[in-house]
Amino acid sequence: MNMRGKWAEGIKPRNLIWIVKNRLAVCERPGGYGPQHRRVRRIEELIWIRRNDFKRVISIIPAVHNLHNYEEFDIDYVHRPIAIGDHLDEVLSVLYVDLNKLIAHGETLLLHHEDVGDAVGGTMAGYLVWNGFVDTPHRAVTAIEGLINRVIGTQGREIVAAAMELPSPEELIPDEDPELLETDEGISNDESFDLEEIIPE
């Protein structure tokens, strides 16, 4: 067995799921979380992330202890800690604007918390409804639950509720923003995912 070749390819992070096809995916924290975290697994997963053209990792874990690993592997990252509290709306505003701008610039993004649970599910459901990909919080939650194969609980729904109170994308990202004017059309409903496959009519 060619272990050197296997090592060079790396291993796909657990529970990697595309939210916006070929643009935005979510996964578990590379290496696992809590007592399941393994250094060797983390290294293999970071190798896979780098080899598979993800331009940036976005950590929404409140703690910062995982960030130096991305620096070691020369992977660009953004830290946007998501936690229920007074500043949730501010963090979501910055995160969602980040996502739209980075995707519009053609970056392929990987977002993670410790696991693909309420924080990830709620953040992504909020992102869908904030962007107008779906028209109600219920449909957004249903869409993400179908993708991550997990029920979004109370904390995740609080994140969605906070996202509903944010200014619209047009207000947060004015049309005259020169960074977006220089790019392509960015993201649209058509290139995200087929809602008919995951939301029953």
The pLDDT of residue 40 is: 81
Burial class (CB in 10 A: 0-12, 13-18, 19+), 95: buried
Alpha carbons 154 and 147: distance in angstroms, whole number: 18
Q: Tell me if 190 is assigned to some domain.
A: no
What mean pLDDT do residues 51-62 have? 94
Q: By residue range, what is the domain housing residue 161?
A: 8-185
pLDDT digits (tens, 9 = 90+) for 172-182: 876 545 444 33
Q: Tell me if 79 is assigned to some domain.
A: yes
The pLDDT of residue 51 is: 92
CATH of the domain at 19: 3.90.190.10
pLDDT digits (tens, 9 = 90+) for 62-120: 988 789 999 999 999 999 999 888 789 999 999 999 999 999 999 999 999 999 999 99
Domain count, the chain: 1
The pLDDT of residue 45 is: 93
What DSSP element (H or E) covers 24?
Answer: strand 24-27
Q: Tell me if 100 is assigned to some domain.
A: yes
